[in-house]
Amino acid sequence: MKNDLALLGAESKKFVFAEHGMMIGGASTQASDGGTIPVFDPSSGDQIAVVPEGTVEDVDRAVKAARKAFEDTSWAGLKPAARERLILKLALALEEHAQEFSEIESLNSGRLIMNTRLFDVDLSVDCLRYMAGWATKLHGKTIPVSVPYAPDMDFFAYTTREPVGVVAAITPWNVPLGQAIWKIAPVLAAGCTVVLKPAENTPLTALRFALLAKEIGIPDGVINVVTGYGAVAGAALVSHPDVNKISFTGSTDTGRIIGIEAARNFKKCSLELGGKSPVIILDDADLSQAIPGAAQAILGNHGQNCCAGSRLFVQESIYEEVLAGVAKIVESVKLGPGLDPSSEMGPLVSATQQERVLGYIRSGVEEGAEVVVGNSAIDHPGFYVKPTVLANVTRDMKAVREEIFGPVLSVASFKDTEEAIAKANDTVFGLGASVWTKNIDKVHRMIPRLKVGITWVNTHNVLDIAAPFGGIKNSGIGCELSEEAILQHTNIKSTIVNVD
Ligand code: NAD
């Protein structure tokens, strides 16, 4: 089996092997103390690059650059239509560099090139185009006020939407460029500026994107990227007094720390956190659709999806058939480097993640789960884990309760829809859920009772830029994409005019 580096195109190689700097105020910048972070190819475990290890001082410089750009006429003073045109230009530039970005992302994150192309590049191009349109549509309302304690006076009242200011965007490693653009696109459309801190192990596409934005004429300081560790650069960004909004995607534990810090300084905050999403298959479902659907719900992006269908619940009468069908698909998955088009699953992102996932499988086995398929790394360098199905699981097992963020599926049965809903909701998370059935009455009775932010019927993990995406409970606060995301980057202002 080859590794990803051997499969990389010439353009991508040129970028990966170049010296990498953070983007601060339009300049490529090394860390204030010269520190660096190694970047690895997960398909071999080999180091492929270093990026600066951003310091507290670097974060301060980046926030100052973002503030300056926010106040500057070259950005805040741009007419909405001019901002829209620039964002569209950025979308086109990303589309023109689609192959390069997909390859770099695949190399750095270990994910399939088909996946990085779709979710990091093509969907990001769509996201930029969708949000560009909002730049000219952020209007307020006129309000017919009565002011009952001043009956002889007349007033004219209206609302306006103003950009919140400097946004701190912090992203995880599972869909690195995609997550970054979900944050950057509404920032640009609303007229805000941003300091992005990508995950420490997948910083490359964010740095390449910042260079592209500069090339096409996004003013200096509007998009800043500080690479660095969460506990230092991330924490400094979140607590910086001149940041107005925090947009975070990552684990629930980190989200809790960030939420507390945001509350301390009354910053706007959106948190997209973890999940343990249920897939519920009723006995009247079309199994030719439901079985591959359930398998894909956990296999997609190697299970490194916040809304991965990691808990499968199957009605008793079809349990054995569904378990056997899903296990057969999972067992047949061909592991290989993400850049090899014949691979069906790549390595996990890091040695730490590989060990974490294997640890969850071990804990399930120790607590009595049956391994139907999978349960090991493979005899090859790189951070591969065989996708795994666990049966005979109980609600209190660690592998059932906690987010694994890897290709591990737990399968259990239920008697009726009441029990299915109770089991699906028996989690601290509330991100996504899918129901598989041909009975539309059951669908409409079940969906309102599922405690999640997004539900799917006879499908799982389908996203669109125009539909809001976010969780409830420990899966987060606020949402991304759609009109909701752009509004979260604005403050609403009321104005009341005495027209007497
Ligand atoms: P993580 O929380 O460890 O890290 C996420 C980001 O936060 C990284 O950039 C990290 O450097 C930074 N960070 C860490 N500590 C910080 C701190 N104290 N202050 C500020 N920043 C800090 O998460 P991860 O392991 O990179 O990503 C996996 C998690 O992300 C999973 O839980 C997954 O479900 C979640 N996720 C959620 C969504 C969603 O939309 N709900 C999408 C993708 C991933």
Report which residue type is found at 322: V
Residue 272 gets the label, from left (phi > 0), alpha (psi -120 to 50) or beta, of beta
Which ligand 1 atom lies nearest to the CA of residue 170?
Answer: 9
4, pLDDT greater than 90: no
428 CA → ligand 1 middle, Å: 17
Per-residue pLDDT, 378: 81
Q: Which of 173, 254, 276, 404 to mutate to test the pocket of ligand 1 (most atoms within 8 A of CB)?
A: 254
Return the structure tokens found at 298: 């956990």
Mean pLDDT of the chain: 97
Q: What mean pLDDT do residues 414-439 have?
A: 98
Residue 278 clears pLDDT 90, i.e. is over it:
yes
Contact criterion met (CB below 8 Å) for 258 and 269:
yes
Percent of the chain with pLDDT over 70: 99
Q: Is 375 within 8 Å of 365 (Cβ atoms)?
A: yes
Determine the pLDDT at residue 7. Answer: 80
* pLDDT over threshold 90, residue 294: yes
Neighbours of 479 (CB within 10 A): 19
370-373 and 388-391 beta bridge pairing? antiparallel
From the alpha carbon of 255, which atom of ligand 1 is closest? 2
- Residue 126 Cβ < 6 Å to ligand 1: no
Name residues whose C-beta falls within 8 Å of residue 252's C-beta, 6 or more positions apart in sequence: 273, 274, 403, 428, 429, 474, 475
The CB of 249 under 6 Å from ligand 1? The reply is yes
**For residue 3, what pLDDT is reported?**
66
Residue 165 CB–ligand 1 contact under 6 Å = no
Residue 404 near ligand 1, beta carbon < 6 Å: no
For residue 290, give the 3-state DSSP assignment: helix
Which residue has a Cα nearest atom 8 of ligand 1?
A: 199
Tokens 């391994």 correspond to 371
Q: Quick one: pLDDT at residue 12?
A: 95
At residue 2, the pLDDT reads: 64
The fraction of the chain above a pLDDT of 90, given in percent, is 95
SS3 15: helix
Q: Is the CB of 197 under 6 A from ligand 1?
A: yes
CB-CB contact of 243 with 167 (8 Å): yes
Q: Which atom of ligand 1 is nearest to the CA of 275?
A: 34
Instruction: Count the neighbouring beta carbons within 10 Å of the beta carbon of residue 444.
Output: 10
Taking the C-alpha atoms of residue 305 and residue 300, their distance in angstroms, rounded to an integer, is 7
- Per-residue pLDDT at 375: 87
- Relative orientation angle of helices 123-134 and 176-190, to the nearest 10 degrees: 10
Rounded distance between C-alpha atoms, residue 207 and residue 104, angstroms = 11
- Find all residues with CB under 8 Å of 170, minimum gap 6, and list them: 196, 197, 230, 234, 237, 238, 246, 247, 248, 249, 250, 258
Query: Average pLDDT of 318-345?
Result: 97
Dist. CA 296–CA 107, nearest whole Å? 22
Q: State the pLDDT at residue 492.
A: 97
Q: Is the CB of 250 under 6 A from ligand 1?
A: yes
- pLDDT bracket for residue 73 (50, 70, 90): confident
**Is-contact 112 7, C-beta < 8 A?**
no
**Which ligand 1 atom sits closest to the C-alpha of 198?**
9
Whether 57 shows a pLDDT value over 70: the answer reads: yes
Whether the pLDDT of residue 474 is over 70: the answer is: yes
171 lines ligand 1 (CB under 6 A): yes
Q: Tens digit of pLDDT for each residue in 151-180?
A: 999 999 999 999 999 999 999 999 999 999
What integer pLDDT is reported at residue 1 of this predicted model?
Answer: 63
Q: Is 172 in the pocket of ligand 1 (CB under 6 A)?
A: yes
pLDDT score of 338 more than 70: yes
Tell the residue number behind the tokens 């005899």, with chain if given: 379
Is the pLDDT reported for residue 105 higher than 70? Answer: yes
Single out the residue of 316, 496, 310, 279 nearest to residue 400, CA to CA: 310
Q: Give DSSP secondary structure letters for 436-489.
A: E-S-HHHHHHHGGGS-SSEEEES--S---TTS-B--EETTEES-BSHHHHHHTT
| CA 422 – ligand 1 centroid, Å | 28
Q: How far is the CA of 57 from the centre of ligand 1 (A)?
A: 22
- CA–CA distance, 440 with 262 (Å, rounded to integer): 42
pLDDT digits (tens, 9 = 90+) for 193-230: 999 999 999 999 999 999 999 999 999 999 999 999 99
Q: Which residues are catalytic?
A: 272, 306
Could you tell me the distance, in angstroms and rounded to a whole number, from the CA of residue 251 to the centre of ligand 1?
4
With a cut of 90, say whether residue 6 has pLDDT above it. no
Q: Is 231 in the pocket of ligand 1 (CB under 6 A)?
A: yes
Nearest CA to ligand 1 atom 11: 230
Which residues make Cβ contacts (< 8 Å) with residue 494, sequence separation at least 6? Answer: 143, 157, 158, 159
**Distances 148 to 141, 151, 155, 493, 495 between C-alpha atoms, Å:** 21, 6, 11, 22, 17
In contact, 290 and 417? CB cutoff 8 Å: no
Nearest atom (ligand 1) to Cα of 250: 30
Specify the pLDDT at position 461: 96
Q: Higher model confidence: residue 379 or residue 487?
A: 487
CA 198 to ligand 1 center in whole angstroms: 9
Range 384-409 average pLDDT: 97
Residue 405 CA to ligand 1 center (angstroms) comes to 11
Say if ligand 1 is within 6 A of residue 472 CB: no
Taking alpha carbons only, the member of 141, 177, 102, 189 closest to residue 494 is 141
pLDDT tens per residue across span 359-384: 999 999 999 999 999 988 787 899 99
Short-list 102, 162, 136, 173, CA closest to 338: 102
Beta bridge partners of 247: 169, 270
Query: How does residue 266 score in pLDDT terms, banded at 50, 70 and 90?
Result: very high
